[in-house]
């Protein structure tokens, strides 16, 4: 009973930003839960997809797709549906961050972050929802927001990131209500500081400062998000939509 509830067997999940970091890590867990895998990333994720297919004995495909480009998303989604025979779940995860003082910031930096983190989430969710609803299919979406949607990180200055992630949380709730009677559930996860390529780019001094503010006393491993994503994508959460699940080692609790 319990195993079936969390199983993704017979499903195909699209993961954006799945060539590294959280996306790549979660893609492996979704495959382990039985799902076939489709990766959209700016970079060619063919090798990642091949490795997942071999390790978990599922089907996997990869497409170079910029989530800020609705035409490209449509083309890649059509190709993925044709190749895989359909799509059922979406882990809408690609995101970027640019730090910088607001007084000094260039307009293009603001636009770049909002374009990937908020517009990108919207464009992919829209194309996926459109595909499901016009085909009379049910499905589930998990968007990646951030604890930065609820708090302002310090000491780094990142208003574009924080605002874009707050937008993702409310977009999630809005789509959850809009599609509630269509059998499409939309939730999001809000990770705290996780060990990925994104955070590895920062200095050790900054990471140590973050760690000193996290009640758990450490950054999270991307693996520690897998349970939340599988719960929200699977039949274990059939009465849950519009939820923002914060997974942050207690950072936002204090």
Active site residues per annotation = 146, 161, 165
Number of helices and strands in the chain (H, E): 10, 7
CB nearer to ligand NDP: pick between 58 and 73: 73
Q: State the Cα–Cα distance between residues 121 and 77, nearest whole angstrom.
A: 14
Query: Which CB atom, from 131 or from 161, has the smaller least distance to ligand NDP?
Result: 161
- One DSSP character per residue, 97-132 reads -----TTT--HHHHHHHHIIIIIIHHHHHHHHHHHH
Min dist CB 242 to ligand NDP, Å, is: 19
On whether the CB atoms of residues 48 and 18 are closer than 8 A, the answer is yes
Minimal distance in Å, beta carbon 194 to ligand NDP? Answer: 4
Q: Nearer Cβ to ligand NDP, position 133 or 209?
A: 209
Cβ at position 191, least distance to ligand NDP in Å: 4
> What three-state secondary structure class fits 82?
helix
* Interface contacts to ligand NDP, rule CB under 6 A: 16-17, 19-23, 40-43, 65-68, 93-96, 116, 120, 144, 146, 191, 193-194, 196-199
- Whole-number Å distance between alpha carbons of 169 and 122: 11
Nearer of residues 85 and 217 to ligand NDP, judged by Cβ: 217
In whole angstroms, how close is the CB of 22 to ligand NDP at the nearest point?
4
Structure-block tokens of residue 71: 């035409």
């Amino acid at each position: 009973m319990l195993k079936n509830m969390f199983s993704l067997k017979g499903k195909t999940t699209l993961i954006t930003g799945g060539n590294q970091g959280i996306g790549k890590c979660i893609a492996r867990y979704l495959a382990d839960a039985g799902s076939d895998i489709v990766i959209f990333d700016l970079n060619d994720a063919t090798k990642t997809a091949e490795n997942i297919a071999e390790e978990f004995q599922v089907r996997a495909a990869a497409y170079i797709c910029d989530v800020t480009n609705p035409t490209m998303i449509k083309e890649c989604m059509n190709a993925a549906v044709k190749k895989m025979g359909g799509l059922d779940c979406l882990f809408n995860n690609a995101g970027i961050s640019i730090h910088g003082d607001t007084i000094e910031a260039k307009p293009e930096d603001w636009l770049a972050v909002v374009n990937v983190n908020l517009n990108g989430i919207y464009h992919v969710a829209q194309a996926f929802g459109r595909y499901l609803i016009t085909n009379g299919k049910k499905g589930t979406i998990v968007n990646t927001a951030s604890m930065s949607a609820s708090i302002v990180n310090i000491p780094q200055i990142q208003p574009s990131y924080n605002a874009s992630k707050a937008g993702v949380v409310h977009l999630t709730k809005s789509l959850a209500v809009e599609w509630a009677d269509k059998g499409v559930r939309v939730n999001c996860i809000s990770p705290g500081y996780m060990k990925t390529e994104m955070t590895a780019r920062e200095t050790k001094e900054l990471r140590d400062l973050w760690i000193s503010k996290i009640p758990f006393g450490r950054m999270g491993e991307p693996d520690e998000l897998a349970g939340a994503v599988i719960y929200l994508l699977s039949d274990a959460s059939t009465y849950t939509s519009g939820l923002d699940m914060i997974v942050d080692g207690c950072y936002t609790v204090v």
